[in-house]
């Protein structure tokens, strides 16, 4: 019931945002357009790697559903993905078919892409269009924090100190951001929404899925509104598509 209610609220928010999206966007020039042009290909590459894993998973699931057969190579892939995407699962040997399908279905919810304009909007917000020195030094454009002191100091409470996570490359940073959305408990609503729209053959739009990121920031709804504002003003589809392919 909680999931159904969340999806209903999310759809309502989408229609409100989509109505507001009818206005004209802002034509970018200079550094802002250059940021999108340089950043977007890395996002596309990260999504491509995830989509390759997803395509293989779906092919294995479809074949297994039809035949009930699962070869060793496919089984090893599933176990590797279960570990990578942190799926809590144990094989039920008394009901192998249903148990295996349960794993594949859980993986299908986690192994999926993140809309590129949603990624861009968060990078813009968290790094100030890539101007943040901390983001440039750490290759962390999403404000991802860690308890390890190998990164840059962010903030501290009475019991905990947080650091900005440091990555060896921009590609590694974007890969980890997408992996975090696909695995952490905080972003289960995001994954539920994405799976819901997938199951209904609906577009994975940025506005539809942004409500699933309430816990990305302490600002909650204000943060989601900010994401959608950035998308509406700076990342309208036609212009973003042009920048990515120019």
Q: What percent of the chain has pLDDT over 70?
A: 83
Q: Considering only residues 131 and 18, tell me which one the structure prediction assigns the higher pLDDT.
A: 131
| d(C-alpha 217, C-alpha 195), whole Å | 23
Within a domain: residue 65? Answer: yes
Phi/psi at 147 (5° precision): -85, -10
Locate 240 and state its tokens: 């973003």
113: containing domain: 2-23+40-245
Confidence of residue 3 (pLDDT cuts 50, 70, 90): low
- Greater pLDDT, 16 or 175: 175
For residue 14, pLDDT over 50 is answered with no
Closest CA to 81 of 54, 100, 62, 61: 54
Report how many domains make up the chain.
1
Of 25 and 131, more confident: 131
Q: What is the pLDDT of residue 153?
A: 72
Cβ proximity of 188 and 6 under 8 Å? no
In a domain, 99, yes or no: yes
Q: What tokens does 6 get?
A: 């969340």
Q: Does residue 78 fall inside a structural domain? A: yes
Residue 70 lies in a domain: yes
Q: What is the pTM of this model?
A: 0.87
Domain-located, residue 30: no
- For residues 165 and 142, give the distance between their C-alpha atoms in angstroms, rounded to a whole number: 10
Question: Is residue 33 a part of any domain in this protein?
Answer: no
Q: Is residue 134 part of a domain?
A: yes
Given a cut of 70, is residue 83 above it in pLDDT?
Answer: yes
Q: Give how far the C-alpha of residue 51 lies from the chain's centroid of Cα atoms, to the nearest Å.
A: 12
The single-letter DSSP state of residue 136 is H
């Amino acid at each position: 019931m909680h999931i159904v209610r969340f999806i209903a609220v999310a759809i309502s928010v989408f229609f409100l945002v989509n109505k507001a999206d009818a206005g004209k966007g802002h034509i970018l020039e200079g550094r802002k357009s250059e940021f999108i042009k340089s950043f977007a290909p890395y996002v596309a590459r990260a999504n491509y790697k995830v989509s390759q894993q997803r395509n293989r998973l779906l092919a294995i699931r479809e074949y297994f559903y039809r035949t009930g057969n699962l070869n060793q190579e496919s089984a090893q892939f599933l176990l590797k993905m279960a570990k990578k995407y942190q799926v809590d699962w144990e094989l039920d040997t008394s009901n192998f078919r249903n148990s295996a399908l349960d794993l594949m279905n859980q993986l299908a919810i986690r192994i999926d892409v993140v809309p590129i304009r949603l990624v861009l909007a968060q990078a813009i917000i968290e790094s100030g269009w890539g101007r943040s020195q901390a983001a440039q030094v750490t290759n962390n454009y999403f404000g991802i924090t860690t308890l390890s002191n190998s990164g840059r100091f962010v903030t501290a409470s009475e019991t905990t100190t947080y650091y900005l996570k440091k990555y060896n490359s921009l590609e590694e940073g974007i890969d980890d951001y997408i992996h975090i959305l696909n695995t952490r408990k905080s972003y289960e609503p995001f994954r539920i929404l994405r799976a819901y729209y997938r199951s209904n053959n609906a577009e994975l739009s940025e506005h539809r899925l942004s409500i699933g990121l309430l816990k990305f920031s302490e600002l909650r709804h204000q943060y989601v509104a900010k994401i959608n504002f950035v998308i509406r003003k700076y990342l309208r589809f036609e212009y973003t598509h042009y920048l990515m392919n120019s």
